Amino acid sequence: MNDSRGRRLPRVGPSRTRRVAYGAFGVASFIALWKLAFVFNWAPRGTIPDPFVVPEALWQEYAGGRLLPAIGSSLVHYVWGLGVGTFLGFAVGLMAASARWFDDAHYMLARILRPIPPLAWVVFAIAWFQVSHAGAAFVISIGVFWVNYFATASGVRDVDPRYYELARAFGHGGFIKRVTSITLPGAAPGILSGMRTGVGQAWMTLIAAELLGVPGMGQEMNSAAGVGAYDAVVVYMLAISLIYTLSDGLFALIENRALRWRP
Amino acid sequence: MSDTGLELHDVGYRYPNSDSAVFERLNFNIAPGEFVALVGGSGVGKSTVLRCVAGLIQPSSGRMQAPANTAKGTRPSAVVFQDTRLLPWRRLRANVGYGLAGLGLSKSERDARIDEVLALIGMKAFGERWPHEISGGQAQRVGLARALAVRPHILLMDEPFSAVDALTRSRLQDELLAIWKRLNMAVLFVTHDIAEAAYLADRVCVMGGSPARIVFDERVPVEHPRARENSELQYFAQRVSDAL
C-alpha cells in the first residue's frame, strides 16, 4: 500500500498478496542460506550463529535484564543527538538560504568541516564529555546536523520566488510573515524529508559511538561478541532494525499529516 | 470607496543594470470605478506597469498617484495573477483570506469576508478543498476572490484569463463584469487579447514602441451590457489592432 516514502501507490488486492508472499519467500531464502552457512562453516567456526537459536537468545537477553536497559540507554542519547542535530541543522540551513551575509560568512567553514566523518569526533567527544550520554549524543548530532543542514538549505532555496511576490502583494512582505507564510510551508517537503533521513542516520552513528563504551545496544553487542555470543549480537541488530522501523513509521505519519496538501 | 483614482505622470522603468528603459514617460489615469484595459504585444512591459502600480517594484522615473488607503480592512490595490498563484499548502478558504491578515479585522469579520467573496464567485461549497483539487478556471476564480476579499480601490489583473480554455474564458469575463458592476471598484486589466479588452473595458490603452509609450487611449464607444458580435465593437477592436 505504501512505498518507502509513505505515498500511496495504486495496488489492488491480489497483487498485494502476491507481493507479501514473494517478500516472505525472500526472507525465508535468506534464513535458509544463513542456516547453510552455519551448518557448513562458511566462516571461521563459531562466528556464524545458528539462526534457529536467535529466538532463544532474544529470551536470554530479555530475561537476563540486558535488552531493555540497553534499548532505554540507547534511546536517551539517540533522542538528544537527533533533537539537537536536527534543530541546529535546520536553523543554520535556514539562515544560510535566507541571509546572504550569513551564507557568505559560513560557506568556507562548512566546506572544511563537512567532509569530516562524525565518528572522527569521537576523540573529542571522549575528551570533553568522557564516556557519557552527552558524548554519544554529540557524535550523533554531528551526522544529523549535516543531513538537516543540506536538506533545509536546498528546500528553502527551491521555494518558487513568485510566491514571495504574492506575499508582498498581499501584505506578507515582512520577514516573519514571509518566513511563516511562504518559506517554511514551501520548503516543508525538503525539510521534512531531511529530518526523516536524519532519523535513520542517527542510528548509523549511534551504534558506532557506543562501541567505545557508552552504555546501550552497541556496547552490549561489543561485549557479547567479546565472549563469542554472536547470537546475542544478532538479537541487538534485529532490535535496532525494529526500533528504526517504528521511529521511521512514526515520522512518516507526521510527515504525511503535515504535507497532506500535496496531490 | 476613495475619491482619488490612479494617475501616472511620465512614469518610466528600467531594469537595474540595464541601459534602455522598458517604458518611458507613460501617462494615463484611471478614474474611480473605471475599467481600463492595457493592451500590448508580449515583452512591451504591460505587466511591469501593473507591478509598479501594485507597489511591487519602484518606477525609475515619474510620479504616480495611487488611491489612498482610507477605509479600515481594505487595501489600495490587489493583484490577480495569470498563474493564479494559489498557495498549494493552504485550503481555498485560507488562500482567499491570505490578504486579510494585518488589516485589523477580527476572526469573525475575516470569515464573513471569505464567505462573501466565495459566494460572489460561486464557490461557497469549495472552501475546504486544496488548490490541486480544482480546475484551472476555478483556481482563477479563487485568485480573483482573494483579491476581492481586501476590497481594493483598484483591482489589478495581469492577463488573468489567458491560460484557460476559450469557453471558460468567456464565462469568466462575464462573471468579472457582473462582479465589477456590483462592487464599483476601478480595474486595470492587462491583456494581449484585443477582443477581450474591447468587450470588457470602459477604455482601452495600447502600449507600443521601444521604450514603450501609450500609443492609443480611447473610450470603448459601446455601452455595457455588450454583445460580443456588436459591429461597432468589432470596428473598435480593429482600430486597436491597427494601433498595435
Cβ of A169 within 8 Å of Cβ of B78? The answer is: yes
Taking only the tens place, the pLDDT of each residue in A49-96 is 999 999 999 999 999 989 999 999 999 999 999 999 999 999 999 999
Question: In chain A, what residues touch B98 (CB-CB under 8 Å)?
Answer: 166, 170, 172, 181
Who among B75, B89, B130 is closest to A185 (CB)?
A: B89
* Phi-psi sector, B158: left (phi>0), alpha (psi -120 to 50), beta: beta
CB A85 within 8 A of CB A148: yes
Cell representation of residue A92: 543554520
State how far the alpha carbon of A74 is from the alpha carbons of A224, A237, B90, in Å: 16, 13, 39
Question: In chain A, what residues touch B83 (CB-CB under 8 Å)?
Answer: 162
CB A43 within 8 A of CB A30: no
Mutate to test the interface with A, among B75, B86, B89 (most CBs of A within 10 A): B89
CB A152 within 8 A of CB A190: yes
- Please name which of A181, A61, B191 lies closest in space to residue B176, comparing C-alpha atoms: B191
Provide the pLDDT for residue A9: 56
Provide the pLDDT for residue B4: 72
> In sequence order, what are the beta bridge partners of B209?
none
* Phi-psi sector, B185: left (phi>0), alpha (psi -120 to 50), beta: beta
Cβ of B89 within 8 Å of Cβ of A170? The answer is: no
Q: Could you give the CA distance from residue B233 to residue A22 in angstroms, rounded to a whole number?
A: 71
Burial of residue A6 (CB within 10 Å: 0-12, 13-18, 19+) is middle
Instruction: Assign 3-state DSSP to chain A and report helix, strand, coil percentages, each to 5.
Output: 80, 0, 20
Q: Could you give the CA distance from residue B212 to residue B17 in angstroms, rounded to a whole number?
A: 18
- Which residues, 6 or more positions from A119, have their beta carbon under 8 angstroms from its beta carbon? A139, A205, A208, A209
Q: Is the pLDDT of residue A13 over 70?
A: no
Q: Is the pLDDT of residue A8 over 70?
A: no
Question: In chain B, what residues touch A170 (CB-CB under 8 Å)?
Answer: 75, 78, 98-99, 146, 150
ipTM, 2 dp: 0.91
Cβ of B99 within 8 Å of Cβ of A171? The answer is: yes
* Phi-psi sector, A65: left (phi>0), alpha (psi -120 to 50), beta: left
Q: Is the pLDDT of residue A2 over 50?
A: no
Cβ of B99 within 8 Å of Cβ of A186? The answer is: no
Distance (Å) from the alpha carbon of B79 to chain A's nearest alpha carbon: 7
Q: Which of residues 181-210 of A touch B (CB under 8 A)?
A: 181-182, 185-186, 188
Q: Does A166 touch chain B (CB under 8 A)?
A: yes
Distance (Å) from the alpha carbon of A146 to chain B's nearest alpha carbon: 27
Provide the pLDDT for residue A12: 58
Query: DSSP secondary structure string, B114-153?
Result: HHHHHHHTT-GGGTTS-GGGS-HHHHHHHHHHHHHTT--S
Stretch A26-48: mean pLDDT: 91
Q: Could you give the CA distance from residue B90 to residue B100 in angstroms, rounded to a whole number?
A: 14
Cβ of A170 within 8 Å of Cβ of B146? The answer is: yes
Who among A169, A172, A188 is closest to B56 (CB)?
A: A169
Question: In chain B, what residues touch A165 (CB-CB under 8 Å)?
Answer: 56
Other Cβ atoms less than 10 A from the Cβ of A242: the count is 11
pLDDT band at A1, cuts 50/70/90?
very low
Mutate to test the interface with A, among B48, B87, B92, B188 (most CBs of A within 10 A): B87
Who among B88, B98, B101 is closest to A261 (CB)?
A: B88
- Which residues, 6 or more positions from A19, have their beta carbon under 8 angstroms from its beta carbon? A11
Q: Does A104 touch chain B (CB under 8 A)?
A: no
Which portions of chain B are predicted below pLDDT 50? 1-2
Cβ of A188 within 8 Å of Cβ of B89? The answer is: yes
Cβ of A166 within 8 Å of Cβ of B150? The answer is: no
